[in-house]
Structure 1
């Protein structure tokens, strides 16, 4: 991916460039908020990462101006302000996702790739295939090794989301936002309960696990093929 990172902290920018190189992505850095705004309007990027607090501008106002100018590139906002109200402000300003500092690189790039997939429209495929799994979107049916999986509507939405992000880490916040349509954590175990139900249905009667818990981060769908 080609990512624009608007950040006035030189060390943070260098670290992000290094992380992008490790992931095989190109990170283009703009240390000036207004210069970043102009570049975003003139050059094509897959995702924009924007720090909320910049020396010359406020990230919230920059995102709002970006949207007013017609730029629809997905924006991930980074900030040391991580309370529910702060996240809501970022999303309402026009950001597509919001990640509080400090963060893990694994989660950051999982979120970036999820934003890129949604923007590219790949999640709208009629049939999604991954290893032994099949997700028939329009028919709302799921299979493992050609065997039908009887999923509830919520379990199917979870399964579909994991298939759209196959092999990559999916965080609780991503699930709450994209499956439950919540911009905040309700501080309940609704995600864990539903993940447990889905895991049992994906694994019952089969060899090998289907859903892996990535402790402290989220979950990853495995390919479901026998080891």
Structure 2
């Protein structure tokens, strides 16, 4: 029987299930050759079947499992191509959004963006992953919303959640929180002086660099 454990801090029980299964795949507890049932997984985690089913749907959308009708699910090894597709979409959305945020964002929106970057800096100095990543997500979300496109913000938030399920963060490759914060600094600096072209270029460089490292983590 595989050994799985729910993470202590997750936004919802379904998120916790998805993370537990992802961790089980990474640890080799769940293997591609075997079919697992929702009932089995619910018993292993000590929870009801409803959040397990919801978590499985999220993993299926991410491409980490294949749901087999009336049988359960089968693990699919993470593919670098999945991350490449996600980064391609983010590159289509986030750099032009940074330009618009610089040119059209309000002073209040710019102040919130600056505050999110400051929170990242404090967390990076402390080596505090728990505070750093939410601030990182907030910064990207604020930039997208300051561009006037809330739908793009929702799409990117979902894509980032999917990426987190597909593999380890870029810090697994030796990239530090301080380095990640430093990549965001030129984006925010350009936004605050309303230099749209520089904001777009800096965001493109950041997202592309992140994508290269995420893909490298999944290459054999």
Specify if TM > 0.5: no
The interval holding the TM-score normalised by the smaller chain is: under 0.3
User: Comparing both structures, which one devotes a greater share of its residues to helix?
Assistant: 2
Query: Which one scores higher on RCO, CA 8 angstroms, separation ≥ 6?
Result: 2
User: How does the TM-score come out when normalised to structure 1?
Assistant: 0.25
Greater strand fraction, Structure 1 or Structure 2: 1
TM normalised by structure 2 equals: 0.26
